[in-house]
Amino acid sequence: MTRILKNSIPAASIAFSLGILSICIINIIYDTDLSWFSLGCLQFAVYIVLTLFADRLAAKMNFKSFFAHFLTEVLLDYPLLLTFIYFGKWFPFDFSNIIRYFIIFLIIMACTHLYHYQVTQKEAEELNSLIAGYEKHAA
């Protein structure tokens, strides 16, 4: 299970993402009619990279709880997403769509943060068991 969480899921996500981005770049370069889907995927990729920078900024802060970290990332990332939605014209910018996509955004953020939290907890447990085993042999 650890191998799936640490290697398979991230590898599949990276491969899928790079594959989609490659297809989008090829469609934009070689297609005379600009594909809005391809352009949207590239805009989304830029958004993801910017959220990684926001994540690095949040990682420098000292949080007392997992929820505080999650809330901070939501507060950093969602306004950025709204900016991309508005200027990228991803969908009509009205209240119902903002609420609808905020719910989707929260679900995705919760899933990714829970995944990261579970992997971190598992790594901490493994490290603690290694330390306990080392201390047992040293004594």
pLDDT (0 to 100) of residue 27: 73
pLDDT (0 to 100) of residue 82: 92
pLDDT at 64 over 80: yes
Q: Global pTM?
A: 0.69
As a whole number of angstroms, the distance between CA 109 and CA 103 comes to 10
As a whole number of angstroms, the distance between CA 29 and CA 132 comes to 56
End-to-end CA distance of the chain: 32
pLDDT at 32 over 60: no
Phi-psi region of 131 (alpha: psi -120 to 50; beta: other; left: phi over 0): alpha
Compute the average pLDDT of residues 49-74: 86
Compute the average pLDDT of residues 65-72: 86
For residue 125, give both structure tokens: 């447990």
pLDDT (0 to 100) of residue 8: 67
pLDDT at 73 over 80: yes
Q: Are 66 and 119 in contact (CB under 8 A)?
A: no
As a whole number of angstroms, the distance between CA 40 and CA 32 comes to 17
As a whole number of angstroms, the distance between CA 47 and CA 36 comes to 16
